[in-house]
């Protein structure tokens, strides 16, 4: 009768070390790399959408501040495109440099009281920020009642961040001075966002 192998010839569980083999680790790392590669574009899109929403929220906050300051002081407060954080730009079509909120109808460098300002991110790259204000009337002014008669049916500010079409937000200000935020593709009182 053939003899059975003795127990001493078989590897014991105590002699085998616990853990993973190099091959097992390589397979797990390869799967993780593939999954990360598939998820990365989604994270970039999410970041662009978040940045666009943040810009729109900051503008709404400053529009509300301008309106409430005009009501509190009983004097006009104006929002204009920024050339620098403390100076208005001559062109109201491109607001990519940010904006300035100041007391009064006309901005005078060094003497106008600045209520708030926002500067664009210098690393923004492909970010654009435009308005439907005419070049002839490059600012939005709130009167002592908080109205913005120059807005008429509405003025739209559009934030487009990066290349993702979903990373677009619009803020519409009506003649009564109330700002409303719209997402990409939404219908607004002054056209599609």
CA distance 75 to 62: 17
| pLDDT at site 125 | 62
| pLDDT at site 71 | 94
Q: Which residues of the chain have pLDDT under 50?
A: none
Distances (CA, A) of 34 to 21, 125, 155: 20, 29, 46
Kindly state the percentage of the chain with pLDDT values over 70.
79
Please provide the size of the chain in residues: 193
| pLDDT at site 69 | 93
pLDDT digits (tens, 9 = 90+) for 94-129: 787 888 898 988 777 777 788 887 876 655 566 788
CA distance 126 to 103: 32
Q: Residue 13: phi, psi to the nearest 5?
A: -65, -30
Give long-range contacts, CB 8 A cutoff, 24+ apart: 163-170: 163/48, 163/126, 164/44, 164/45, 164/48, 164/49, 166/45, 166/49, 167/45, 167/48, 167/49, 167/51, 167/52, 168/52, 168/193, 169/52, 169/53, 169/55, 169/56, 169/193, 170/56
How many angstroms separate the first and last alpha carbons of the chain?
89
């Amino acid at each position: 009768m053939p003899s059975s192998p003795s127990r001493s010839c078989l590897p014991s569980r105590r002699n085998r070390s616990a853990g993973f083999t190099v091959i097992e680790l390589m397979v797990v790392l390869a799967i993780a790399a593939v999954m990360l590669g598939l998820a990365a574009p989604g994270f970039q899109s999410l970041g662009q959408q978040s940045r666009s929403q943040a810009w729109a929220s900051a503008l709404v906050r400053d529009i509300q501040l301008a309106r409430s300051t005009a009501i509190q002081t009983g004097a006009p407060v104006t929002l204009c495109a920024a050339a620098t954080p403390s100076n208005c730009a001559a062109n109201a079509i491109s607001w990519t440099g940010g904006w300035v909120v100041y007391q009064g109808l006309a901005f005078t460098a060094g003497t106008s009281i600045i209520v708030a300002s926002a500067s664009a991110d210098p690393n923004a790259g492909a970010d654009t920020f435009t308005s439907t204000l005419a070049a002839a009337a490059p600012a939005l002014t709130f009167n002592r009642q908080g109205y913005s008669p120059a807005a008429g049916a509405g003025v739209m500010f559009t934030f487009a961040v990066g290349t993702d079409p979903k990373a677009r937000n619009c803020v519409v200000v009506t003649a009564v001075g109330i700002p409303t935020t719209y997402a990409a593709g939404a219908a607004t009182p002054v056209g599609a966002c």
